[in-house]
Amino acid sequence: MTEKSSYDTYREDVAGRANVEDTPELVRYYRDLERFDAGALWTVANKIEPWEPKSESVPTLWRYQELRDHVLRSVALVTPEKAGRRVIYLNNPGRHDVSAAVGWLYSGLQVMHPGECASTHRHSASALRFIMEGRGAYTIVDGHKMTLGANDFVLTPNGTWHEHGVDEGGTPCIWQDGLDIPFVNAMEANFYEVHPDLHQQVAYPIDDATHTWGASALLPQGQAWSKPYSPLFKYEWEPTYDALRRLAKVSKGSEFDGILMHYTNPVTGGPVMPTIGASMQLLRPGEQTKAHRHTGSYLYQVAKGEGYSVINGRRFDWRERDIFCVPSWAWHEHVNTQASEDACLFCFSDLPVMKALGLYREEGLKTNGGRQAPAPN
Amino acid sequence: MTEKSSYDTYREDVAGRANVEDTPELVRYYRDLERFDAGALWTVANKIEPWEPKSESVPTLWRYQELRDHVLRSVALVTPEKAGRRVIYLNNPGRHDVSAAVGWLYSGLQVMHPGECASTHRHSASALRFIMEGRGAYTIVDGHKMTLGANDFVLTPNGTWHEHGVDEGGTPCIWQDGLDIPFVNAMEANFYEVHPDLHQQVAYPIDDATHTWGASALLPQGQAWSKPYSPLFKYEWEPTYDALRRLAKVSKGSEFDGILMHYTNPVTGGPVMPTIGASMQLLRPGEQTKAHRHTGSYLYQVAKGEGYSVINGRRFDWRERDIFCVPSWAWHEHVNTQASEDACLFCFSDLPVMKALGLYREEGLKTNGGRQAPAPN
Amino acid sequence: MTEKSSYDTYREDVAGRANVEDTPELVRYYRDLERFDAGALWTVANKIEPWEPKSESVPTLWRYQELRDHVLRSVALVTPEKAGRRVIYLNNPGRHDVSAAVGWLYSGLQVMHPGECASTHRHSASALRFIMEGRGAYTIVDGHKMTLGANDFVLTPNGTWHEHGVDEGGTPCIWQDGLDIPFVNAMEANFYEVHPDLHQQVAYPIDDATHTWGASALLPQGQAWSKPYSPLFKYEWEPTYDALRRLAKVSKGSEFDGILMHYTNPVTGGPVMPTIGASMQLLRPGEQTKAHRHTGSYLYQVAKGEGYSVINGRRFDWRERDIFCVPSWAWHEHVNTQASEDACLFCFSDLPVMKALGLYREEGLKTNGGRQAPAPN
Amino acid sequence: MTEKSSYDTYREDVAGRANVEDTPELVRYYRDLERFDAGALWTVANKIEPWEPKSESVPTLWRYQELRDHVLRSVALVTPEKAGRRVIYLNNPGRHDVSAAVGWLYSGLQVMHPGECASTHRHSASALRFIMEGRGAYTIVDGHKMTLGANDFVLTPNGTWHEHGVDEGGTPCIWQDGLDIPFVNAMEANFYEVHPDLHQQVAYPIDDATHTWGASALLPQGQAWSKPYSPLFKYEWEPTYDALRRLAKVSKGSEFDGILMHYTNPVTGGPVMPTIGASMQLLRPGEQTKAHRHTGSYLYQVAKGEGYSVINGRRFDWRERDIFCVPSWAWHEHVNTQASEDACLFCFSDLPVMKALGLYREEGLKTNGGRQAPAPN
């Protein structure tokens, strides 16, 4: 390590904050401390105890139109066997070191052709997939096989054996993967295992989890479930969209989020997995929400419609399948620019972590009628 | 109180059990104790510590065919205003003192004509209603109005203001009421209050609870719910029956109960109310379950089909709308006698109490292939 | 059953209440219903839906001075082998049918001589013992042996093998037993089993539960405990009294209860058992509490000092070791008549049941400065 | 960003792992992706999905003997007003960027002279202090003032106003601070606030939290507590050490940890704070534990005695007040080298996070009798 030349970079002239100017004697002292793997708190205190969070992640939108070709191009370039998985991951400009789309969340676009199938593995990272296009995709989780269509969403939780594929009779499929890989790595708790047979057996009737756990407010007798994630591995689009429209009939929703529903574990009413939560929200024709900000990292995919979001004062126009992120404590508001169609935003986040650990906080924008004044786009 | 002549009625000649014969000296002693509001435990120990439960309730079936006329007859005999409610309650032959259908559960059949409406009240007893016939019935719970059809089931939990009625455009309606009145009375915790205005305002869109909380594994954002009962007050028949049939596709179900699902509170995955649980079960064509017994008191209504149940060795044939009870620790098995139709049994019980207090126990019949040998009917 | 002559006993002339006068036609109708194990709700509605609870139990005080001789007399009259246990039970004048001291709680005074030991059994009823006098008493619960002194309190929860005895070197011991036998019988869930060897082995070091679980806010690693009752079977008097005095230094306590602490399960912070809770309260010299009432049934033993309680307007003077009950929804206030000594009241109750099932309710007396005007004693 | 020259650094020739060699065409493809804030997963997959965790933190021991002088030196160099707090923080050689002692945990040694007092602030980071030397230290948390002695441990949870000081009549005091600052910063959820008055009022009797919540298995009536951290802010040394010795009488303890107890929230039995847990463990004279490893980051302080620990094969000798860390998934075993004295290790960690999020895993060393073969020290 090269010696630092100044230690008083973070001084603040505010009562209760560190404000110590470098002197030759102090600098000598700081260098003495370094020899003992130590330092003087007041040289870093104002840095490590900020007044409020300032995310390293940058608000970013990934246009599907731009990425799709590159995703498809990978089919010719690598085999699933060599690549493990053919995935183009999203790299937040502020988070290159950890391959994160936002905060500690990883996301990528995976493509698979009919008849292809990735090998079975498991890891401590939790995962979900959100289907973007194609017919015939399926996922197998611990022996439960699920068929998947556009806007369906499937879990492959921490520790479950899982594999993905596309039926011979299907079409090329693209889906979004979402994982907490960066978080689990940061917690230094990631384990990875390839299935000894490379593939797992389907041990239950197709879509049995949906038929067993997917009823509204009805749980099957004699099916004990105490794992920390939802036994309902698949959340289908049709009943989800239907639920949003029914809710919209009787509720004005939130001024910040319109009509928003959280996917839940039906056994507990809690989040689908301990480290990743997910939601779908509906913006009514012409709806423009007010700005708020909260802690946690959020990655959206446009499931339906078009419009724009303003994030920390910058406008991001979006269309179906575009993906964008809202970093922690970033102001954000959403607009459905369509005159007569709903817009729907799928979102996954680390909200369950923030809630479980007491780190969630939110506030609405008090000025300008609750709306940010975006810079010209 | 008249003096008892003998105190050794409950003697058992078994090690570890009380076995004290009356002597003149002991009888004098017992009478001395009575003067001090006391007694000798060994005179009652074997009675109050039985080897296993022996229910006071008697297995009983109430035929709808027999009761229906009497229920309708009440319309001419009393007004809702005078009667409070026009209800014929079911009186278990073993439980006359507490007006219970089985154990500590009350049940009755209520009739209401179009345009009629009972006044609003609330009580510490928890209630549910299961619709048997008619069109146009509704219930209002704390300002939430719900429309009701046959085999729908609605909650009016402990402490909620509630009223029932039938729309002007409807037909005469009959439903089953289920309450824990005897239990709450036994716990000496029942309070009753008539609404100061006799009726409550409808404060939300019709069926808003269903649209808000009735989606599968999706919960609305920003709707905090911490009450000890389900916010989903109504459980409709159609999705329930559909759920049973879907479960039957992928599960063999229980050898004792066929395909059985518990109605749940979607916010917690737990029972619909702390003191009363409910379930719907489907018996496939020709299905004959094995006998088991468990603690808790259970009241069934036949929602669909016909067949019979054997309860403590006695056969009870049933048809749609018949009601029958299974007392605590009574052996029971069910048979769908139809060759090509499902049979469905609605059931409510005190199972949540038994589970919460650690008093639930069950066992299967080990002999005769798991089937009771019923006495000739 | 003899035919009832009148059915309109419970009429009330209040809107929303049943108010139907008998007519010959109605009486014929009622008798028709009885043949079908049914009845008309409006004939009993006002009885089974009371405006507020009216306990069947009678406020009662049992003077130790009066009972002690009779308890000791039992030693000469019966052997533990014949009697099972030598216990004089407390019989609330309002609850003779179920051998209850108050509500659904049983209590008795047990005596044992040095060298005596009752056989091991288990049952679904939960039990506790509160030591009144003597040296050398012990209890063994599932292989854990505990030594017991005056004012110590020990659990023998639902389903645990337990036996009691007095060491050869001890003195005659008397203790109070408290059980939920009437409640578990009412729930028709009581099972009883005698240990196959009549006695169990001591499988752990003496008082190991105390040394393992009895530290303040410290739990041992690697000792999983998921049973629904406290692993800390014994609660000793000395640290309890010390805790009350420390709390009294920094808290004014409750105007209704003085300084009151609930015994808890250290693993959960919840009640010691799901069906029975216990507390110890301290009344400072001269302290006179205000009257309140709440649901639930409460049985007190005076652990220290003297004074009186006013229960539903009647004064009960008490001294050390006296036992008295407060039935559900009965007004009660306590007075320590000593000028310079604390008084301490041990209490056990069904409060955990009332809380778990949403049946707990309380209110303070608004009139007369919060104090009842007792009738002259 | 400079262009990367090679992208196939992480190739593994194992079925199910990425194994794609760079080609000119692929490198062009990778560079195309970078322009869209994207990348090819297979270039980083083996890096971000490791077979098992490899901590960035380095096993490190900080000798008190070496640090103490530097800590005291700070008194002459800076005032509390200028420095905010006079703290020398521990900087793990592998974690310089985030000022962490291990993993995402911060720690430092703070010194304060009699009559000094730091200003009141609050932050989203949770904190604890463990007293090392001196008399007269105190902490005030949300108006509750606590006196502190050596080996006492005090909480200042997320969001609580807190300040520290030393009474005029005391001596210079040194304590260890422990916080989750790096973690809360990583989660982008840290807020900081200086108290408007710079100091808070003492609003309760001294040590009231200890007298209110510090009893064993007894909780005060009427003191509702639903915050996510323990209301017992202080854990004193004497009862802790006593508890360990009592547990040692009846338990062999763990082969990996000897006699270890977790400090708990008495209201829930859970950890003291959602993000930081703490424990004290006792190693009996001559005790040598077996090696195990688990996820999570752990920082120890030697509260009593001397000995050594072997961490990932390296021996660290320790004496009273030394501090050392065990990074995630590092093998570790402890030895008390004293012939007749106990050794005690205080430890704080992120164990509650690992448990709450399903990321905890552990295993014992199977070889060499469960002991690592350390390199010569």
User: Is the per-residue pLDDT at A317 higher than 90?
Assistant: yes
Which tens digits make up the pLDDT trace of D18-75?
Answer: 999 999 999 999 999 999 999 999 999 999 999 999 999 999 999 999 999 999 999 9
User: What residues of D are in contact with residue A329 (Cβ under 8 Å)?
Assistant: 188-189
Q: What is the mean pLDDT of residues C296-314?
A: 98
Closest residue of chain D to C205, computed from CA coordinates: D250
State the amino acid at position A310 in one-letter form. V
Which H helix or E strand runs over B62? Answer: strand B61-62
Mark whether B and C touch (3+ CB pairs within 8 Å): yes
The residues pairing with B324 across neighbouring beta strands, listed in sequence order, are B61, B300
Average pLDDT over residues A251-278: 97
| pLDDT (0 to 100) of residue C96 | 80
Q: Which pair of structure tokens corresponds to residue A36?
A: 């003992």
Of D150, D179, D213, the residue that ends a domain is D213
Reference C230, options C201, C192, C269, C191; nearest CA is C269
Residues B43 and B74 in one domain: no
Q: List the one residue out of D170, B87, D188, A295 whose CA is nearest residue C38.
A: B87
How far is Cα B52 from Cα C185, in angstroms, rounded to an integer?
10
Could you tell me if D67 and D153 lie in one domain? yes
Q: In this complex, which of A49, A78, A93 lies closest to D190 when CB atoms are compared?
A: A49
% pLDDT > 70, chain D:
98
pLDDT on residue A16: 87
Q: Kindly report the backbone phi and psi dihedral angles of residue B240, in degrees, each rounded to the nearest multiple of 5, phi listed first.
A: -70, -50
Whether B358 sits inside 8 A of C70 (CB atoms) is no
DSSP bridge pairs for A173: A112
**Which residue, A233, A249, A68, is CA-closest to A160?**
A233
Task: Please give the structure tokens belonging to residue B315.
Answer: 């056969």
Nearest to B269 by CA among D341, A216, A51, C221: A216
Q: What is the arithmetic mean of pLDDT over C186-215?
A: 96
pLDDT tens sequence across C137-175: 999 999 999 999 999 999 999 999 999 999 999 999 999
What's the Cα-to-Cα distance from A211 to each of A215, A219, C186, rounded to whole Å? 7, 11, 39
Tell me which residue in D205, D213, D264 faces C218 most closely, judged by beta carbons. Answer: D264
Chain C contacts of B54, Cβ < 8 Å? Answer: 188
Q: Could C357 and B354 be called an inter-chain contact, meaning their C-beta atoms sit closer than 8 Å?
A: no
In the predicted model, what is the mean pLDDT of residues A266-278? Answer: 98
Question: D140, D119 in Cβ contact below 8 A?
Answer: no
Q: Please indicate, yes or no, whether residues D177 and D85 belong to a single structural domain of this protein.
A: yes
With tokens 């230290």, the residue in question is D137
In the predicted model, is pLDDT for residue B377 greater than 70? no
Chain C closest CA to B31's CA: distance in Å?
Answer: 11
Backbone angles phi, psi at C177, to 5 degrees: -95, 140
pLDDT of C222: 86
Which positions in chain A touch B208 (Cβ < 8 Å)? 250-251
| pLDDT number for residue D16 | 87
Q: What is the DSSP string of C263-310?
A: EB-TTTSSBSSSS-EEEEEEE-TT-BPPPEEESS-EEEEEEE--EEEE
Tokens of C152: 């110590």
Task: Please return the burial class of B85, using the count of CB atoms within 10 Å of its CB with bins 0-12, 13-18 and 19+.
Answer: buried
The alpha-carbon gap from A301 to the nearest alpha carbon of chain B, in Å, equals 18
Contact D211 C250 (CB under 8 A): yes
Check if the beta carbon of residue A364 is closer than 8 Å to that of residue A370.
Answer: yes
Q: How big is chain A by its Cα radius of gyration, in Å?
A: 23
Q: Is the pLDDT of residue A294 over 60?
A: yes
CB contact under 8 A, C50 and B185: yes
Is C96 within the bounds of a domain? yes
pLDDT at C377 over 60: no
Q: How far apart are the CA of B285 and the nearest CA of chain C, in angstroms?
A: 30
For residue D259 the two structure tokens come to 């006699």
- Closest residue, chain B, to C274 (C-alpha): B357
For A45-85, the pLDDT digits (tens) are 999 999 999 999 999 999 999 999 999 999 999 998 899 89
DSSP state of A254: B
Whether the Cβ atoms of residue C89 and residue C106 lie closer than 8 Å to each other: yes
pLDDT at residue C357, as a whole number? 98
pLDDT at D376 over 80: no
Query: How many other CB atoms are found less than 10 A from the CB of residue A199?
Result: 14
**Which pLDDT value is given to residue C3?**
72
For residue C29, is it left (φ>0), alpha (ψ between -120 and 50) or beta?
Answer: alpha
Q: What pLDDT, on the 0 to 100 scale, is given for residue D4? A: 80
How does residue B376 score in pLDDT terms, banded at 50, 70 and 90?
Answer: very low
Among candidate residues D164, D179, D213, the one where a domain is terminated? D213
Q: Taking residues D122-145, report their average pLDDT.
A: 98
Surface-to-core class of residue B102, CB atoms within 10 Å of its CB (0-12 exposed, 13-18 middle, 19+ buried):
buried
Order across the sheet with C87-90: list the strands: B38-40, C87-90, C106-112, C173-179, C127-133, C153-156, C234-235
- Predicted local confidence at residue D1, as pLDDT: 47
> How many other C-beta atoms lie within 10 A of the C-beta of residue A102?
32
Which pLDDT tens digit goes with each residue over C314-344? Answer: 999 999 999 999 999 999 999 999 999 999 9
**Higher pLDDT pick, C107 / A79:** C107
Which chain C residues have a beta carbon less than 8 Å from that of B42? 78, 82-87
Instruction: State the smallest CA–CA distance between residue D181 and chain A in angstroms.
Output: 7
Is the pLDDT reported for residue B1 higher than 70? no
A90-94 contacts at long range (C-beta below 8 A, 24 or more positions apart): A90/A60, A90/A62, A90/A323, A90/D37, A90/D38, A91/D34, A91/D37, A91/D38, A91/D39, A92/A57, A92/A58, A92/A60, A92/A325, A92/D37, A93/A58, A93/A60, A93/D37, A94/A55, A94/A56, A94/A57, A94/A58, A94/A327
Q: Quick one: tokens of A372? A: 């940010």
Q: Is-contact A237 A320, C-beta < 8 A?
A: no
Q: D162 with D114, same domain? A: yes
Helix or strand run (H / E) with residue D15: none
What's the whole-number mean pLDDT along residues C61-79? 96
**D114 inside domain:** yes
The token pair that represents D252 in the structure block: 């062999």
Among B294-303, C77-86, C220-229, name the most confident range.
B294-303
Task: Name the amino acid, one letter, at A6.
Answer: S
- Choosing from D178, D213, D248, the residue where a domain stops is D213
d(CA A74, CA A92): 21
pLDDT > 70? residue A289: yes
Asked whether residue A220 is domain-assigned, the answer is no
pLDDT at A2: 59
Q: Output the pLDDT for position D2.
A: 58
Let me know if residue C12 belongs to a domain.
no
Is residue A20 situated within a structural domain?
yes
Number of domains in chain A: 3
Residue A4: pLDDT band (50, 70, 90) is confident
Mean pLDDT confidence for A230-244: 98
Same domain for C179 and C269: no
- Is D196 within a domain? yes
Same structural domain, D152 and D203? yes
Whether the CB-CB separation of D297 and D349 falls below 8 Å is answered with: yes
Residues B241 and B366 in one domain: yes
A298-304/A343-349 β-pairing: antiparallel
- The CA distance from C149 to C169, in Å, is 14
Classify residue B56: in a domain, yes or no: no
Q: Are residues D247 and D293 in the same domain?
A: yes
A284 and A351 inside one domain: yes
The pLDDT of residue C110 is above 50: yes
Q: Are residues B67 and B167 in the same domain?
A: yes
Q: Tell me: the pLDDT tens digits for B53-93? A: 999 999 999 999 999 999 999 999 999 889 989 999 999 99
CATH number at residue D357: 2.60.120.10
pLDDT value of position D377: 44
Structure confidence at residue A97 as a pLDDT band (50, 70, 90): confident
CB pairs under 8 A between C and D: 147
Provide the token pair at D278: 């703490």
Reply yes or no on whether the pLDDT at D154 is more than 90: yes
Tell if the CB–CB gap between A42 and D82 is shorter than 8 Å.
Answer: yes
A70 is a domain residue? yes
Chains with at least 3 CB pairs less than 8 angstroms from chain C = B, D
All residues of chain B having their beta carbon less than 8 Å from the beta carbon of residue C39 are 88-89, 91, 99
Domain that holds residue C150: 61-213
What is the predicted pLDDT for the residue at A151? 98
Nearest-angstrom CA–CA distance, D364 and D362:
7
Q: For D238-249, what is each residue's pLDDT tens digit?
A: 999 999 999 999
Residue C364 to chain B, least CA–CA distance (Å): 16
- B72: distance to nearest CA of chain C, Å? 12
CB A104 within 8 A of CB A178: no
Cβ contact D243–C218 (<8 Å) = yes
Say yes or no: A160 and A275 in one domain.
no
Other Cβ atoms closer than 10 A to A93: 12
Residue in D51, D62, D89 nearest the CB of A192: D51
Contact D217 C246 (CB under 8 A): no
Question: Nearest 5°: phi and psi at A216?
Answer: -75, 115
Range B338-345 average pLDDT: 98
Search chain C and give the residue with CA nearest D260: C221
Q: What is the DSSP letter of B246?
A: H
CB-CB under 8 Å, C16 with B195: yes
Do D199 and D250 fall into the same domain? Answer: no
3-state helix/strand/coil string of D342-356: CEEEEEEECHHHHHH
Q: CB A250 to CB B279 under 8 A?
A: no
- Region C242-258: mean pLDDT is 97
Query: Cβ of D131: how many Cβ atoms within 10 Å?
Result: 20
Q: Is the pLDDT of residue C236 over 90?
A: yes
Query: In chain B, what residues touch A247 (CB-CB under 8 Å)?
Result: 211-212, 215, 220
Contact between B326 and B351 under an 8 Å Cβ cutoff? The reply is: no
Contacts of B117 (CB under 8 A, 6+ apart): B80, B163, B164, B165, B166, B199
